[in-house]
A = this chain, B = another copy of it.
Amino acid sequence: MNAKMQWLRNKMLSLDLQGLIISNPINVKYLTNIDAEGVLLLTRKENIYITDGRYIEHVHSILTLYDEIIVYDINDVSKDDYENFFMFCENVGFEENYVTYAEYKELIRKYKVNNLVETEHIIEKQRMIKDRDELKNIQKACEITDNCFSYILEYIKPGMTEKQIADEIEEYYKPRTDGLAFDTIVASGENTSKPHAVPTNRKIGEKDIITIDMGCKVNGYCSDMTRTFFVGEVPEEVKPVYDLVLKNEKQTLEQMKDGASTRMLTKMVENDFRFSNYDLIHSLGHGVGLEIHEAPYIGLKSDTQLKENMVVTDEPGIYLPGKFGVRIEDTVQITKFGCINLTKSEKNYIVI
């Protein structure tokens, strides 16, 4: 059994869980490397993956004996099998944040479990701390993102559309990575005031402001970076906003280390923005891994202590509707006494 499965089994012991039903395919991939549709059951003694005819061949090609996972075709699992999987298990965990209400009722009916227990993100929490291989993949994804950004700065010329630029980023990533980590944001002019702008046919002007939010995947692991930059010159009205965002991005980086409180980090940025009459209208950051947004959430709504080998973003932004917006974002690896900035592209005024 691999180290991640072993860790999870130890965690189950400490939580008095004798069984676990893992339905979230990202969690299944994290634990087993299986990339299919199915459910992973950790029973008292066995690890069982139930999938259907379409995936059996594929799953067998991924697993080795060392994985100690028994694969079932869902059509061969009888009513009795389901009831036997968790026999003599007092508490069986399920993923209440992934399983729908309808599926929950179905789990109870099918497995006849006495006590189906909410596991409160047990695996998502485990996923927050990255191991060496995971870090390597994210570092690589960030490196390629930096290179792509350098390339795209050379590529952009006035007259091109936002869509054209977004397509070129995708083309750059395609042969080098598993593809986009999320739909690239290329926003220009007043479109930069929309934090989640979708690339349009707006043409880049001779003098313009551009925000690009981009990332790719390497072996399933994501990178995430945003830069706001300028064509021709930096408009005077943008400078104070840019400076304020950059200052806060850098200050947050300085404070990101093992033990830091995510709520406090956010509060400090929010306070500094408020002082200049601006609002922080989205969270300050988020974890990055197999998913582009994963735990920990860095905002005001909840609090987490950053830990060594978490990978998170630092992305303050200010948006003036109908005018312009500025966001600067890095992907960052937390260390014992600080952090390593994995996206290393220039952050001072970039003028092309």
Contacts and interface: CB of A to CB of B under 8 A. Distances in A.
Contact of A97 (B100, B167, B281): B100
A282 interface: yes
A102 interface: yes
Given A53-B282, A174-B167, A194 B100 contact: no
Q: How many copies of this kind of chain does the complex include? A: 2
A98 B100 contact: yes
What DSSP secondary structure best describes chain A's contact surface?
loop
Interface in A201-259: none
Nearest to A75: B281
A104 interface: yes
A196 B58 contact: yes
B282 A194 contact: no
A94, A99, A196, A282: residue with the most chain B Cβ atoms closer than 10 Å: A196
A158 interface: no
Interface size class of A (residues with CB under 8 A): 20 to 34
A92 to B, nearest CB: 14
Contact of A281 (B53, B167, B174, B194): B53
Contacts of A281: 52-54
B102 A100 contact: no
A282 B53 CA distance: 7
A338 interface: no
Contact of A57 (B96, B98, B193): B193
Contacts of A97: 100-102
B194 A57 contact: yes
A193 B53 CA distance: 11
A55 B196 CA distance: 7
Interface of A: 52-55, 57-58, 94, 96-104, 118, 167, 174, 193-196, 279, 281-282, 321
21 contacts: A52-B281, A52-B282, A53-B195, A53-B279, A53-B281, A53-B282, A54-B194, A54-B195, A57-B194, A58-B194, A96-B101, A96-B102, A97-B100, A97-B101, A97-B102, A99-B100, A99-B101, A100-B101, A101-B104, A101-B118, A167-B174
